[in-house]
Each structure stands twice: as structure tokens, then as C-alpha cells.
Amino acid sequence: MNYPTNCKYTLLVSSLPIHKTLLFDEKQTPLSRIQLNKRLKLLDKNDAADLLKIEQLLHWSHIKEDINQTFVNKTMGSIESLSNNFIKNIIIWRLEIRIILAALRMRHQGQNTPPVKNIFGFDYWYFMMTKYWHEPDLGLGKQLSWVAEANKLLTENKNLQLEKFLFGVVWDHYQQLSLGHYFNFEAVIIYVLRWDIIDRWNSYDNEIAAQRFNDLIDAELQNKIIC
């Protein structure tokens, strides 16, 4: 049966289990990816294509620490191919986080000046980084309250805590963006991106638990050998 787009999207969003308000209260995804994909078949063709693009760019497992001109150009090229400004703004926001984190990591590794301007491609952030390179928050604390805490965790080499903190920053941003979007394509976008965060965090948490378990087993075996 063919439904008008607004009816289809109301039906789609209504079929999705509600996310909890707090990310770390989510112990598993509210539905499997297979079930999610079945529901996403209600999307119009163009919207489905746009959702695929944003997932390919922002899926947490695709995000690496390194950032370079090739990555920035690819991301900006993908943005230009999108007609949905809501999606464009989300991608730019996430790209800005990556740029700032890359700068913090470079400084932490001993780089005394900001990297070449064209690597970043965002004039405002580059101006602030140049002027406040030796400030803990790169001079961005008033605009971006998360930068100071991210830098603190980075300099203390608390990688797990940093990763968890960033999950929370992104989750809260999506929560804010969801206000006013309840039964439209934007609501679907936010739902899928939040689903990915839950999936990635739980996978990450399980990986850490498995590694800790293996470390304990190794230590126990080592003790037996020594004895």
C-alpha cells in the first residue's frame, strides 16, 4: 500500500522503540539492525540515499583519529551533494569535532604550532587555534564547553574516559537536535545516528571487558608458571 510521505514517516517513527534519555542507561540497542532496516524501507528513495551518505560519514566505526586534506575534501564533497540542510549541519558539526580533536592530539604529541591551514579548512577555528594554541581549550571554551574536558582527559592519557566523554557529547547534541522533530525525516536521521552510538558504545564496552578478562587470564597463567 502506498502512503503519503508524512503518513509513512509517522508510521515509521511510531514503530521505533524509544531511546532512553541518558546514553549510558542503554545496555543494548532497542532493536536489531535487521529490524531497523526493515522499518527504514518506508523511506522515500532520495531520503534513503541521503541517510546512507550520512551513515557512511558518521558511523562511529568509520571515524579514525587521523584527519587530512583528502578526508576533509571528501567530506565537504559529500556535503555539497546533499540537499538537506539538517544533514549538512550535522556532518559539519561532527567534522568540526574531529578537526579540534586532531589539533589537541597534535599539540599533545609536541607540535608547537597549529598545522597547515588548508588541512583544517575552517577559517574561524584555525584563527582561534593560531592565537590560542598554548591555551588548554585552544581559546574555544566559551563556544565549545567540551574542549577543555577533552583536552584534560587527553593529556592525562585517559583514552577510555575520553572516548566515553565524546560519546556523551555527541549523544547530548543529537538529543538537542531532536527537539521539534518527531514524525519527519529529521527524526529518523537522529534516531539512526543515536542507534549507532548505542551500538558502538556497547561493542566498545564489550571489547574492553573481553580484553580485561584476557589480561586477567594471562596474569593468572603467568603466576602459575612463576610458582
pLDDT of residue 151: 96
pLDDT of residue 117: 58
The answer to whether the beta carbons of residues 81 and 54 sit under 8 Å apart is: no
The terminus-to-terminus CA distance of the chain in angstroms comes to 72
Please tell me the pTM assigned to this model: 0.81
Please check the confidence at residue 5 and state whether its pLDDT lies above 50.
Answer: yes
Domain residue ranges in the chain: 5-226
Mean pLDDT, range 120-143, rounded to an integer: 83
Query: Interior CA angle at 29 toward 24 and 32, to 5°?
Result: 170
Which residue matches cell numbers 556535503?
79
Instruction: Grade residue 96 by pLDDT with cuts at 50, 70 and 90.
Output: confident
pLDDT per position as a tens digit, 157-208? 998 889 889 999 999 999 999 998 999 999 999 999 999 999 988 887 555 5
Rounded to whole angstroms, the Cα distance separating 170 from 119 reads 23
Residue of higher predicted confidence among 123 and 171? 171
| Torsion angle in degrees (nearest 10) through CA of 183, 82, 98, 52 | 60
Mean pLDDT, range 126-141, rounded to an integer: 88
Instruction: Grade residue 60 by pLDDT with cuts at 50, 70 and 90.
Output: low
Please tell me the least confidently modeled range out of 61-75, 89-103, 174-188. 61-75
pLDDT per position as a tens digit, 6-36? 788 999 999 999 998 888 888 889 999 999 9
Mean pLDDT, range 76-105, rounded to an integer: 85
The answer to whether the beta carbons of residues 59 and 108 sit under 8 Å apart is: no
